[in-house]
Amino acid sequence: MKHRTFFWFFLPTGLAMLLFIALPIISVVTQSLYAPHEAVLSIVENCGPFGCKEETTVDQAATEALRAAEPLGRFVGLEIYLDRGHLAVQEVSQLWASEPTWSSFFSRLGNLPFYRAMSFTVTYVAVVTPMVIILGLMIALAVNSLHRHLKGLVIFFSLLPFIVPPLIGSLILFWMVDSRGVFGTFLQYLSGDPNLSLKASTALTWIMLMVYGIWHSAPFAFVIFYAGLQTVPQDTIESAVIDGASRWEQTRYVVIPHLMPLVTFVALIQLMDNFRVFEPIVGFKSEAHATSLSWIIFNDLGGETRLLSSAATTSVLTILGVAILLSPVLVRTWRDFNAKAH
Amino acid sequence: MSTSLARRQPLGLRIALYAFVVIWLILAAFPFLWTLWGSFKVELDFFSLSNWTDALTGPRTEAVYGKPFTGAGYEGAWVQEEFWRAVLNTSIVCFCVVCISLTFGTLGGYALSRSGYKYVFWLLIIALIFRALPQITLVSGYLQPFFAWNLWGILPTTIIVLVAINQPFTLWMLHSFFTKIPIELDESAKVDGCTQFQAFRHVIIPVMWPGVITTGLFSFLLAYNDFAVAAMLLSEENRTMVPAIAAFLGTTQTEGNVMFAVAAVVSATAPLFVLVMFFQRQIVSGLTAGAVKG
């Protein structure tokens, strides 16, 4: 295809992505370097019957004028990145100096909003991604050995947790694990503690969110692996059987290696999706115990005071996180591409 | 399929496999059925302090309404809280997003699959990076300009934003789909004197529908499931379903209102249920299309 034709074909989608993805990224980076204007104060002399007093008032007109003239705010460089709400460099170095042990250092670090969100996000990604792959693989292997009339039915019900909006899925589970809900009651019965509430404990909240994450994403891994199982080379299985491989050995040395590229694919998609974990935190109302990077941005943007600069700074830090997460994949793709070219 | 003796499963393994599948099915489907059943009860039955079986039998619902089922939650959500407005907004948003993003994506994906130059690779990689960005990070970039240009709060803004966010995925999917359509088809059309666009129009469009429908399903799901963008960019009366449900939660302190949210959640899940029923094959093939290639 000629460059010219390509250009016209690609223009609509390219323009959409340029205007609403690329430019916003630039806009976010710029915004993160500016802080909102402070109110302009003016000192007025106020004279009454008991003499004159100097009073400081907010000059509304001048403040408005300044905000209108420079809507971005005042340039502060990296100041917002280093403040308490984000990287908190000062606080961290103080903690580093004052805390004697690693564990006390990390527990104090967990009080700073950014690190608190970061620790949950990273734990969530690190736990949910492998669990989804393992559970998905198990379901796929089990379903594949079912009678074929049952397969369609199982796939239908399996897709439901994956297909519903994450907020709705988490609400459905949240109502069930509520201490008055069916699952909450069951847990109270199991533990023998009639006052057990998943919402009250940090550890249980984390587990609950991760269980939700696995429940939500396992169908995705299942469907992918299930499709992969349909293309397992039967000849290799035959010869493995002839060589005396047990059922487990067939799975371990023939089926799983065959599925390996799919595992990489599922891992990649899951890393990207789990890193943006957000809706469950709203659905489970868990912000007292667990927050994520996306949730901080949402929280800053919402409400009456829209903290645009603060949200922009967290956004940039999140984008950097995504870049670090994806870099191995990108490097590999680049190598593959070069290898193909030569 | 004739199973050889060596490959027949022993009984113990068979039972274990069936048990595992049944447990998974319960985990996957039970929450939905439970919530569907419970949505026809009053709050004190669905969230029962005394006995969990209340949610099944509904004694308090019976005490209030004379029968163990009530549509009060639905009436409250749809009529009193005007959930129909959110449903209407969601329909508009989904319809427009699917149409526009398929138009853009088809043209772009086709071009990517038919051009052999190096920039194709880079465009796809950039699309992958865009796909990886959490949507909420972009939203903080939209607010300032949208406020300034008075674009905030209306449906068209959200539609075009969702189209753009949708493009990377659509491009990847349609690119891999168009690569499977033999290039000889459009080559021969061009030999017969067609321009590239005419070849696309007369030769490719008639054969592209299976892939486009599959991609369209996923565009639909993205628009339908979106919370972050719609919650931030839409004003209260233009809200779509998911942000509307989130808003219900803020105002559920008084008794009965939790059931509004439950009813709204069930109402929002029902169309997806139907969708999976009819398009299961397409959804499965769409999920695997990206994987088998990559």
- What's the rounded mean pLDDT across residues A57-77? 80
- What's the rounded mean pLDDT across residues B240-247? 91
CB within 8 Å: A293 and B134: yes
Confidence at residue A16, expressed as pLDDT on a 0 to 100 scale: 95
Instruction: Report d(CA B13, CA B101) in Å as an integer.
Output: 47
B113 to chain A: closest CA residue: A1
Of B27, B140, B294, the CB nearest to A301: B140
More confident residue, A95 or A16: A16
pLDDT at A119 over 60: yes
Confidence at residue B5, expressed as pLDDT on a 0 to 100 scale: 54
Confidence label for B255 from pLDDT (cuts 50, 70 and 90): low
Measured between CB atoms, does B270 come within 8 Å of chain A? Answer: no
- What's the rounded mean pLDDT across residues B190-208? 90
B258 to chain A: closest CA residue: A175
Least confident of A32-36, B46-50, B123-127, B206-210: B46-50
Question: Could you tell me which residues come within 8 angstroms of residue A89 by beta carbon, excluding any fewer than 6 positions away?
Answer: A82
Percent of chain A clearing pLDDT 70 (strictly above): 99
| A34 backbone dihedrals φ, ψ, rounded to 5° | -115, 140
pLDDT at B1 over 70: no
CB within 8 Å: A20 and B104: no
CB within 8 Å: B114 and A168: no
Measured between CB atoms, does B292 come within 8 Å of chain A? Answer: yes
pLDDT tens-digit readout, B71-120: 888 988 898 888 999 999 999 999 999 999 999 999 999 999 988 888 88
- From residue A80, give the alpha-carbon distance in Å to each of A4, A88, B138: 44, 9, 18
Least confident of A236-245, A269-278, A303-312, B221-230: A303-312
Measured between CB atoms, does B275 come within 8 Å of chain A? Answer: yes
pLDDT at B291 over 70: no
Q: How far is A251 from chain B (nearest CA, A)?
A: 13
Confidence at residue B11, expressed as pLDDT on a 0 to 100 scale: 86
Question: Cβ of A224: how many Cβ atoms within 10 Å?
Answer: 26
- From residue A69, give the alpha-carbon distance in Å to each of A49, A62, A305: 40, 10, 20
Q: What is the mean pLDDT of chain B?
A: 87
Q: How far is B241 from chain A (nearest CA, A)?
A: 10
A274 to chain B: closest CA residue: B134
Cα–Cα nearest to A24, from A270, A319, A336, A231? A319
CB within 8 Å: B160 and A20: yes
Instruction: Report d(CA A137, CA A97) in Å as an integer.
Output: 47
Confidence label for A17 from pLDDT (cuts 50, 70 and 90): very high
Instruction: Report d(CA B275, CA B221) in Å as an integer.
Output: 10
Instruction: Report d(CA A311, CA B137) in Å as an integer.
Output: 8
Measured between CB atoms, does A41 come within 8 Å of chain B? Answer: no
Confidence at residue B256, expressed as pLDDT on a 0 to 100 scale: 57
- What's the rounded mean pLDDT across residues A112-132? 94
SS3 state of residue A46: strand
Q: Give residue B215's Cα distance to chain centre.
A: 11
pLDDT at B3 over 60: no
Of A31, A156, A227, the CB nearest to B280: A156
- What's the rounded mean pLDDT across residues B205-210? 90
Q: How far is B167 from chain A (nearest CA, A)?
A: 7
Confidence at residue B253, expressed as pLDDT on a 0 to 100 scale: 53
Q: How far is B114 from chain A (nearest CA, A)?
A: 6
Cα–Cα nearest to B120, from B105, B108, B132? B108
Instruction: Report d(CA B217, CA B280) in Å as an integer.
Output: 10
Of A21, A142, A155, the CB nearest to B130: A21
- What's the rounded mean pLDDT across residues A155-173? 93
Question: Could you tell me which residues come within 8 angstroms of residue B114 by beta carbon, excluding any fewer than 6 positions away?
Answer: A1, B178, B183, B186, B196
Instruction: Report d(CA B199, CA B190) in Å as an integer.
Output: 6
Query: DSSP assignment, residue B153?
Result: B
- From residue A288, give the alpha-carbon distance in Å to each of A19, A202, A295, B28, B133: 36, 8, 12, 28, 25
Confidence at residue A218, expressed as pLDDT on a 0 to 100 scale: 95
Cα–Cα nearest to B104, from A18, A2, A25, A3? A18
CB contacts, 8 Å: A27 with chain B: 141-142, 144-145
Instruction: Report d(CA B102, CA B220) in Å as an integer.
Output: 10
Confidence at residue B53, expressed as pLDDT on a 0 to 100 scale: 81
Angle at A69 between CA A65 and CA A74, to 5 degrees: 105
Confidence at residue B4, expressed as pLDDT on a 0 to 100 scale: 56
Cα–Cα nearest to B173, from B124, B220, B129, B207? B124
Q: Can you read off the two tokens belonging to residue B21? A: 């599948």
For testing contact with chain B, the best of A23, A168, A212, A231 (most B CBs within 10 A):
A168
More confident residue, A101 or A292: A292
More confident residue, B220 or A337: B220
Confidence at residue A123, expressed as pLDDT on a 0 to 100 scale: 95
Q: Can you read off the two tokens belonging to residue A208? A: 């609950």
Out of A53-67, A84-98, A305-319, B21-35, the most confident range is B21-35
Q: In chain A, which ranges are continuous DSSP H helix?
A: 3-17, 23-31, 60-69, 79-82, 89-98, 102-109, 113-144, 148-163, 166-177, 182-191, 202-229, 234-242, 247-250, 256-275, 279-283, 293-301, 308-341
Confidence at residue B290, expressed as pLDDT on a 0 to 100 scale: 63
Q: Can you read off the two tokens belonging to residue B162? A: 């969702």
Confidence at residue A39, expressed as pLDDT on a 0 to 100 scale: 76
If you search the block for the tokens 């993805």, which residue do you land on?
Answer: A21
Instruction: Report d(CA B31, CA A161) in Å as an integer.
Output: 9
More confident residue, B120 or A73: B120
pLDDT tens-digit readout, A209-265: 999 999 999 999 999 999 889 888 889 888 998 998 888 888 899 999 999 988 988
More confident residue, A21 or A330: A21
- What's the rounded mean pLDDT across residues B221-225? 93
pTM of the predicted model, to two decimals? 0.90
CB within 8 Å: B280 and A262: no
CB within 8 Å: A154 and B13: no
pLDDT at B6 over 60: no
Confidence at residue A142, expressed as pLDDT on a 0 to 100 scale: 92
For testing contact with chain A, the best of B99, B120, B140, B144 (most A CBs within 10 A):
B140
B/e letters for A251-287, b = 16+ CB within 10 Å, e = fewer, are beebbeebbeebbebbbbbbbbbbbbbbbbbbbbebe
Name the B residues in 20-39 with CB < 8 Å from any A CB. 20-21, 24-25, 27-29, 31-32, 34-35, 38
- What's the rounded mean pLDDT across residues A142-146? 88
pLDDT tens-digit readout, B127-166: 988 988 999 999 888 988 898 899 988 999 999 999 999 9
Compute chain B's Rg from CA coordinates: 24
- What's the rounded mean pLDDT across residues A156-167? 92
Measured between CB atoms, does A14 come within 8 Å of chain B? Answer: yes
Measured between CB atoms, does B5 come within 8 Å of chain A? Answer: no
Measured between CB atoms, does B15 come within 8 Å of chain A? Answer: no
Confidence at residue B294, expressed as pLDDT on a 0 to 100 scale: 42
Compute chain A's Rg from CA coordinates: 27
Percent of chain A clearing pLDDT 90 (strictly above): 41
Measured between CB atoms, does B171 come within 8 Å of chain A? Answer: yes
